[in-house]
Amino acid sequence: MWQQTQCFLLIVSVIITGSLSASWNMVVSPEVTVSRGEDAVLSCSFTHPQQQSYSGTIAVKWEGSPSNSILFFSCSVRNESMEVLSCSVLGLKYFLVGNPRQGNLSLLIREVQLSDDGEYTCKVQLDGWRDYREKKIQLHVTAEPQILSLSVVETPRDPNNTTRRLQCEVEGNPLPKLIWLSASRKPIVNQVQLSQTSLYRLTSSVPYSEEEVLTCWVGSELGEAERTYPPSNTVKTPLIVQGLITVLLLLLISAGVIVYCCRNRRAGANPDPVYENVGTMNDRLQCSSSPAGGDVELQVAHYLRSV
């Protein structure tokens, strides 16, 4: 009889434990994809057997990137209370957007960056319950190709010589393709060095000589970008200076012509007094009474005496 009672209790215990365990449920979005700079919401919710009557503490934990599976966010709250959530947060970009009392544990990540890309774990535990529930979410952060730097790097080859190379550092997710272009937009394939410096970064370089114009081009399914060395404003500077000098010379020549024309006009409007007197003299010679005999020289002498 006692053995039958023990067996019955064991069966009941297994049934009850199994039913309680089966009533635990957690739902997440297995994968979330967002673009760099946007906000990401990692959805996570749960239910448990005593959802309506449970009065203990609900502990919420988030683990994963960017802390290498180290706990970076945790909150706790009593189910039957109006108290504010008591949270411990690593940084100021993580917020619990759900209400644990309603089984919502969703996490908001502000302005995600490539460093936020990775796997996260949503975890919940109740007071008096040995077990807990957890599920993983994969966050994918995409980023358009971006050129971080383009500069000339000099590497000493021996005490008297240095090697000059143009180096381009790019970033993107998925990792972009990098191509060097000549001034005529033809791909450069000789002596190109390429290395992946991180999950999302590439560094490439090519030999460079003075006054050479080269372009670093990167592209992926999300877009493309390019940058030219030397910068276009540096190339255009001599042309701009030359143009300004030409304009100034034209202005000076125009000013000289204007001044010359003005002087000629003034000279025409105000003739020289000598020439004016000669004209008056001629008029008077024609109009004055001439001496007898009409000799021209005598007429002039007569006019001078009269003046």
- What digits encode the pLDDT tens for the residues 218-241? 999 999 999 999 987 654 555 565
Confidence (pTM): 0.65
pLDDT in tens, 253-307: 887 778 777 777 776 665 555 445 545 545 554 544 444 444 544 444 444 455 4
Confidence tier at 151 by pLDDT (50, 70, 90): very high
Amino acid identity, residue 4? Q
pLDDT digits (tens, 9 = 90+) for 19-40: 444 577 999 999 999 999 999 9
From the CB of residue 141, how many other CB atoms can be counted at a distance below 10 Å? Answer: 23
Enumerate long-range contacts of 23-29, CB under 8 Å, 24 or more apart. 23/47, 23/48, 23/49, 24/48, 24/49, 24/131, 24/133, 25/133, 26/122, 26/124, 26/133, 26/134, 26/135, 27/135, 28/122, 28/135, 28/136, 28/137, 29/137
Is the pLDDT higher at 29 or at 247? Answer: 29
> Residue 130 corresponds to which tokens in the numbers above?
């040995």
**Average pLDDT score over residue span 88-114:** 89
Decide: 141 and 113 in contact? Cβ < 8 Å: yes
Q: What is the CA radius of gyration of the chain?
A: 47
pLDDT digits (tens, 9 = 90+) for 174-212: 999 999 999 999 999 999 999 999 999 999 999 999 889
Per-residue confidence (pLDDT) for residue 8, from 0 to 100: 46
Residue 294 φ/ψ region, left for φ over 0, alpha for ψ in the -120 to 50 degree band, beta for the rest: left
Report angle CA 134, 137, 143 to the nearest 5 degrees: 160
Whole-angstrom distance, CA of residue 4 vs CA of residue 17: 20
CA distance linking residue 121 with residue 167, whole number of Å: 39
DSSP string covering 10-74: HHHHHHHHHHHHHH-EEEE-SEEEEETTS-EEE-EEEE-TTTTT--SEEEEEEEETTSTT-EEEE
